[in-house]
Structure 1
């Protein structure tokens, strides 16, 4: 199975990838959903970084969201909707996938130099994408849903 990181997504769906990355850029905090031990969802605030063709998450040591991902790597991430409506501007972006911890100092060191997390240990996760969805309103008439999954094209559905 081919690993689908941010670079692979960008190559497969460049316009959607560009729009998605632009949607995350204006805000520092976004919403991450992970799975608790009992399988119920947990949402947490999260900062994300797009570095070296990867969507990465850095977390405080032993944070509950990090422990969730270490136990079950599935996640859903929603871009901060910003002020006003979640459908304004470029719309709403949601990314699903799996997050795996990175322990290699050759990766964590440059990440820490670029992002400058608080001093001390931290968890770093790389992501493998399973779905990217953009939802927006077009011409104040249509709800448009663009979705992408690995191995397929971007699919667009318009609803009135």
Structure 2
């Protein structure tokens, strides 16, 4: 099945419009392997990412979240929090790797998509195992937290070539595939 076919089938299964174009991580990885590889490195570098959600009143909220990869999904685990309630109400979100170097040497990775509340035991166990692998302990049993799988609409990878004075912008979407542009800075 093509990625476009997968996206339409997946959108319908989630109750979305058939023309929706979002994929799970493994499908994104197949479509844009280099962007996905560099993006995963950035997301896993610190074990944290920044998620932007939409509050009930329509204003944005940003919060840290722990990204994990399991069974072809990018999973976001969070305690019972306002960001989880935001995602249950409106699944649209953005995910961004944390950066701390003002020179841009770490690069930026951004994903736009929809957070799908994980219900299946397979993904829950995958999340729990990925958590245990990273933190050397399992998440507490019975603790009220949510796990979401990020269905990806688009991605951006921004890198800097300091020697050439260039910013390299890689974009991915199902409609356009991977495109790359370079521009001088400052």
TM-score when normalising by structure 1: 0.90
The answer for unaligned runs of 5 or more in structure 1 is: none
Task: Answer yes or no: is 1:68 the counterpart of 2:90.
Answer: no
Question: 1:77 & 1:42 partners in 2: Cα distance?
Answer: 12
Q: How many residues align?
A: 157
Higher helix content, 1 or 2 = 2
The answer (yes or no) to whether the contact 1:55–1:126 under 8 Å persists in 2 is yes
Q: Paired residue for 1:104? A: 120
Superposition CA RMSD, Å = 1.6
Task: Answer yes or no: is 1:6 the counterpart of 2:30.
Answer: no
Question: 2:94 & 2:87 partners in 1: Cα distance?
Answer: 11
Task: Answer yes or no: is 1:123 the counterpart of 2:123.
Answer: no
Q: Paired residue for 1:147? A: 171
How much does 1:111 deviate? 2.3
The answer (yes or no) to whether the contact 1:129–1:150 under 8 Å persists in 2 is no
Alignment partner for residue 135 of structure 1, among 137, 141, 158?
Answer: 158
Which has the larger displacement, 111-120 or 45-54? 111-120
Q: Which has the larger radius of gyration?
A: 2
Compared CA separation, residues 21 and 135, structure 1 to 2 (3 A): same
The answer for unaligned runs of 5 or more in structure 2 is: 1-7, 11-22, 132-137
Which has the larger displacement, 114-123 or 131-140? 114-123
Q: Deviations over 1:89-112 (max 9, x none)?
A: 4x1111110001012234313422
Compared CA separation, residues 153 and 109, structure 1 to 2 (3 A): closer
Does the residue aligned with 2:45 lie in a helix, a strand or coil? coil
Question: 1:49 & 1:93 partners in 2: Cα distance?
Answer: 15
5 Å-filtered alignment, 1:5-24, equals 5-24=24-43
